[in-house]
């Protein structure tokens, strides 16, 4: 009860503060054009450069705590599962419920998402992390049902920004970062690179990761060009779940790795060229061809037979848009297209049973082709009243080729073979998304908006072609979601800025596994809640930021979901806390030497159920972190960050599977020291 009282008390107190405050212009790229965020009639949140530097996150969940409606559930090492105005979704296609993008380009192709895909991107040295909650605008298509995480690379800067940093922490953690950012009148360059090594909190765990981002720009009167590329590599020794009720509270169990043989290796590369042409009458045209390639191999330590998966895909595509703007309205319309070739192999090295045999379970190739047209327009009827509307048509075709025998992967003696391989086939999915919104500016300080939207996601290739238990055809289609949200954006309430959003979403044709382990669709879920972001900044350097989420996610209708024992209609979806959030209380100073920043961060996570029957639960946790910065000289500064100050025993992720409680362990109290030198 205590965390809830803290949040409500904070909401009341900050809304009453009155003092001088200057509103900062915020630009949001949700509609593929740089739009003043204060006027945008949808729910967005940003993590800016200062917050990224303050957090200096080793895992993306540490910085995403500052976003209402978002919870990145951390697995071991760099693994994660995403909750974005949703439960933490699991399963082969769950990652398709949200869109992860780099400079507006999806990290993965439609149909080829991965739940861990966020570890591919160099968020550590991004300029902004931009989050859209609810179905994304029509500028984006499949995989953006519950929202979008868009990580923007750092642009060149007018003043030279040239730094190197070294960091050391508990359990063999080391990180080195380098960045160079500068531009002249005609050209600019941004180079950002980092390497991290973590010895691991649990035995036989840890990872090594390297990332580099390069961005070059040319600024012309008519044509502007940007070339960007990013590469990442992860070599991880994975610690699996520890098992047993509340085993994360036992000191001996917390440090054990039940799966010392587990690993995950990943490699990714992507690049794009952005050509921007200015036209007459404030019009412009943007054409962005891009390439991506990903490759991943890992041991499926979470299933008893421990098979190995290898997957990869390569894509080529382009995004194009024509933009128009005048005094009354502005709009963007365009065409998107991409082709992809993906492969997946699942292999079991050791014999387990007749139903999980040794050898290859799957070996297939999928060629995909996605085409979309879209339009989004913003009309200003007056200074106080605007209307937004957009739509998107998208078509995705998969050509699947099985390289093994069709049907069962087991011998004839198997009683219930786990793995089933469809024969070669082609599938096409055609979908539409719509959104309409209106905003009312009550005065200079207050904006109210109402937005309705419909989103979709095409089935993932693993849902279609990685079948089980004798199923030969996946009886599924695209998922759909309908959303209604009402928001209030307030600025200059003294030193306070406030964003509140209430949302209600209904999802239909949800893909799930039934009691026969068949992939089918037709389930319904509902999602509704309140998100609040409150920021306070005083002239003396004191600031307070808070992000709060109150929500309920539940099953609607009676479905026979695998693993359930009773009717789950109205039950909470598992791994869906009713509330969570964070508060940061800090102080900034402009002094040249000495303590220049001090921040305390409180993180709260409510209890949540671990199964659809709502019979098992995790009790939740509250954590405190501290970030301190000292300026040693004008060129040298030092950060001291302490995580989990009160040494709380907690689980990063709790689960109930195969008849027992399972936990990814949260680390005990630990410290990290970072030295930053301005070259």
Give the residue from 26, 36, 23 showing the smallest Cα distance to 378: 36
> Can you say how many angstroms the Cα of residue 312 is from the centroid of all Cα atoms in its chain?
20
Three-state secondary structure along 339-383?
Answer: EEEEEEEEEECCCCECCECCEEEEEEEEEEEEEEEEEEEEEECCC
What percent of the chain clears pLDDT 90, i.e. is strictly above it? Answer: 79
Q: What is the CATH number of the domain that holds 52?
A: 2.40.170.20
pLDDT of residue 450: 97
Q: What is the mean pLDDT of the chain?
A: 91
Range 47-65 average pLDDT? 94
Give the residue from 375, 389, 503, 391 showing the smallest Cα distance to 439: 389
* Between residues 6 and 199, the one the model is more confident about: 199
Q: What total number of domains does the chain contain?
A: 1
Q: Which residues of 186-225 are buried (b: 16+ CB within 10 A; e: fewer)?
A: eebbbbbbbebebebbbeebbbebbbbbbbbbebeeeebe
CA angle 607, 114, 190 (to 5 degrees): 105
Q: Which tokens is 280 given?
A: 């007459």
What is the C-alpha separation between 16 and 516, in angstroms, rounded? 57
Compute how many other C-beta atoms are within 10 angstroms of the C-beta atom of residue 440: 13
pLDDT of residue 438: 95
Range 224-253 average pLDDT? 95
Q: Are strands 147-152 and 99-102 parallel, antiparallel or unpaired?
A: parallel
Q: Are strands 446-457 and 479-493 parallel, antiparallel or unpaired?
A: antiparallel
What is the C-alpha separation between 155 and 182, in angstroms, rounded? 8
CB 551 within 8 A of CB 572: no
Q: Is 302 a residue whose pLDDT tops 90?
A: no
Which domain covers residue 138, as residue numbers?
Answer: 2-678
- What are the start-end ranges of the E strands in 205-255? 206-219, 223-237, 242-243
Taking CA atoms, 636 is separated from 165, 167, 272, 594, in Å, by 10, 13, 35, 11
What is the C-alpha separation between 376 and 370, in angstroms, rounded? 20
Give the residue from 2, 46, 52 showing the smallest Cα distance to 24: 46
Find residue 267's DSSP bridge partners. 233, 295
Give the residue from 458, 437, 389, 502 showing the smallest Cα distance to 139: 389
Q: Is 15 a residue whose pLDDT tops 50?
A: no
Range 242-256 average pLDDT? 92
Q: Which residues of 578-598 are buried (b: 16+ CB within 10 A; e: fewer)?
A: bbbbbbbbbebeeeeeeebbb
Radius of gyration in angstroms for the set of CA atoms belonging to the chain, rounded to a whole number:
25
Residues in the chain: 679
φ, ψ of residue 4 to 5 degrees: the values are -65, -40
Q: Are strands 594-605 and 608-609 parallel, antiparallel or unpaired?
A: unpaired
Q: Summarize pLDDT for 314-363 with one digit per residue, the tens.
A: 999 999 999 988 878 889 999 999 999 999 999 999 999 999 999 999 99
pLDDT of residue 25: 60
pLDDT of residue 401: 97
* Range from 191-205, 251-265, 483-497, 557-571 carrying the lowest mean pLDDT: 557-571
What is the C-alpha separation between 299 and 241, in angstroms, rounded? 13
| Cβ neighbours for 16, distance < 8 A, ≥ 6 positions apart | none
* Range from 46-55, 89-98, 151-160, 283-292 carrying the lowest mean pLDDT: 89-98
For the chain, the distance separating the N- and C-terminal CA atoms, rounded to the nearest angstrom, is: 49
Q: Is 14 a residue whose pLDDT tops 70?
A: no
The DSSP code for 60 is H
* Range from 442-456, 563-577, 598-612, 615-629 carrying the lowest mean pLDDT: 563-577
pTM listed for this prediction: 0.93
Range 91-107 average pLDDT? 89
Q: Is 9 a residue whose pLDDT tops 80?
A: no
* Between residues 12 and 478, the one the model is more confident about: 478
Give the residue from 579, 580, 564, 562 showing the smallest Cα distance to 616: 564
Range 497-509 average pLDDT? 95
Coil vs helix vs strand at 75: coil
* Between residues 404 and 15, the one the model is more confident about: 404
Exposed / middle / buried, residue 281 (Cβ in 10 Å: 0-12, 13-18, 19+) = exposed
Q: Summarize pLDDT for 511-555 with one digit per residue, the tens.
A: 888 777 888 888 899 999 999 999 999 989 999 999 999 999 999
pLDDT of residue 7: 44
Q: Is 398 a residue whose pLDDT tops 90?
A: yes
What is the C-alpha separation between 33 and 342, in angstroms, rounded? 31
What is the C-alpha separation between 461 and 111, in angstroms, rounded? 5
What is the C-alpha separation between 479 and 521, in angstroms, rounded? 8
Taking CA atoms, 151 is separated from 60, 148, 157, in Å, by 11, 10, 18
For residue 3, name the pLDDT band (cuts at 50, 70, 90).
very low
588: number of CA atoms within 13 Å, CB side? 12
What is the C-alpha separation between 625 and 602, in angstroms, rounded? 7
Q: Which tokens is 465 given?
A: 């072609």
Q: Summarize pLDDT for 153-180 with one digit per residue, the tens.
A: 999 999 999 999 999 999 999 999 999 9
What is the C-alpha separation between 442 and 422, in angstroms, rounded? 58
Q: Is 496 a residue whose pLDDT tops 90?
A: yes
Find residue 149's DSSP bridge partners. 100, 131
For residue 8, name the pLDDT band (cuts at 50, 70, 90).
very low
Q: Is 493 a residue whose pLDDT tops 90?
A: no
């Amino acid at each position: 009860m205590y965390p809830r009282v803290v949040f409500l008390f904070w909401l009341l107190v900050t809304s009453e503060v009155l003092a001088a405050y200057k509103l900062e212009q915020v630009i949001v790229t949700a509609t593929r054009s740089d739009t003043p965020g204060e006027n945008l009639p949808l729910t967005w949140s940003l993590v800016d450069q200062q917050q990224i530097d303050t957090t200096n996150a080793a895992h993306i969940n540490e910085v995403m705590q500052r976003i209402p409606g978002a919870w990145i559930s951390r697995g071991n090492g760099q693994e994660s599962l995403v909750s974005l105005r949703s439960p933490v979704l699991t399963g082969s296609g769950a990652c398709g419920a949200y869109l992860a993008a780099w400079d507006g380009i999806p990290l993965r192709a439609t149909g080829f998402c991965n739940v861990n895909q966020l570890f591919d991107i160099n968020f550590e040295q991004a300029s902004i992390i931009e989050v859209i909650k609810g179905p994304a605008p029509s500028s984006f298509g499949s995989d953006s049902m519950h929202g979008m995480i868009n990580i923007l690379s750092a642009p060149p800067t007018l003043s030279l920004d040239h730094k190197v940093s070294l960091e050391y922490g508990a359990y063999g953690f080391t990180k080195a970062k380098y960045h160079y950012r500068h531009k002249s009148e005609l050209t600019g360059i941004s180079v950002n690179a980092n390497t991290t090594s973590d010895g691991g909190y649990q035995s036989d765990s840890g990872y090594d990761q390297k990332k580099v981002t390069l961005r070059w720009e040319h600024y012309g009167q008519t044509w502007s060009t940007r070339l960007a590329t990013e590469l990442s590599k992860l070599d991880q020794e994975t610690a699996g779940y520890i098992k047993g009720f509340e085993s994360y509270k036992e000191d001996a169990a917390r440090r054990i790795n039940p799966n010392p043989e587990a690993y995950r290796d990943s490699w990714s590369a992507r690049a794009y060229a952005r050509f921007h042409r200015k036209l007459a009458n404030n019009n412009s045209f943007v054409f962005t061809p891009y390439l991506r390639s990903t490759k991943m191999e890992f041991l499926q330590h979470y299933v008893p037979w421990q098979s190995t998966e290898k997957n990869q895909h390569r894509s080529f595509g382009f995004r194009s848009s024509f933009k128009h703007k005048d005094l009354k309205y502005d709009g963007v319309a365009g065409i998107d297209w991409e082709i992809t070739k993906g492969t997946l192999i699942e292999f079991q090295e050791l014999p387990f049973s007749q139903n999980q045999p040794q050898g290859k379970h799957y070996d297939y190739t999928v060629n995909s082709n996605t085409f979309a047209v879209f339009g989004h327009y913003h009309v200003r009827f007056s200074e106080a009243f605007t209307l937004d509307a957009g739509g998107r048509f998208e078509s995705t075709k998969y050509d699947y080729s099985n390289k093994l025998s069709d049907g069962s992967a087991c011998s004839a003696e198997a009683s219930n073979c786990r793995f089933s391989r469809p024969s070669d086939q082609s599938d096409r999915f055609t979908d539409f998304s719509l959104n309409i919104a209106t905003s009312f500016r009550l005065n200079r300080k207050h904006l109210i908006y109402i937005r309705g939207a419909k989103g979709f996601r095409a089935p993932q290739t693993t849902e279609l072609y990685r079948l089980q238990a004798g199923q030969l055809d996946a009886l599924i289609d695209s998922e759909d979601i309908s959303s209604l949200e009402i928001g209030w954006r307030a600025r200059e309430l003294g030193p306070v800025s406030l964003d509140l959003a209430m949302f209600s979403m209904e999802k239909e044709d949800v893909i799930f596994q039934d009691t026969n382990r068949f992939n089918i669709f037709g389930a319904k879920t509902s999602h509704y809640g309140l998100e609040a972001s409150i920021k306070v900044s005083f002239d003396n350097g004191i600031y307070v930021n808070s992000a709060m989420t109150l929500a309920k996610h539940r099953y609607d209708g009676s479905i026979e979901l695998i693993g359930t024992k009773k009717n789950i209609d109205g039950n909470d979806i598992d791994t869906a806390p009713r509330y969570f959030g964070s508060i940061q209380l800090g102080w900034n100073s402009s002094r040249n030497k000495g303590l220049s920043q001090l921040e305390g961060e409180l993180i709260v996570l409510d209890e949540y159920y671990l199964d659809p029957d709502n019979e098992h639960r995790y009790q939740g946790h509250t954590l405190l972190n501290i970030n301190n910065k000292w300026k040693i000289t004008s060129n040298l500064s030092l950060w001291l960050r302490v995580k989990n100050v009160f040494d709380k025993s907690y689980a990063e992720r709790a689960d109930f599977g195969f008849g027992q409680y399972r936990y990814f362990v949260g680390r005990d109290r630990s410290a990290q020291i970072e030295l930053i030198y301005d070259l």
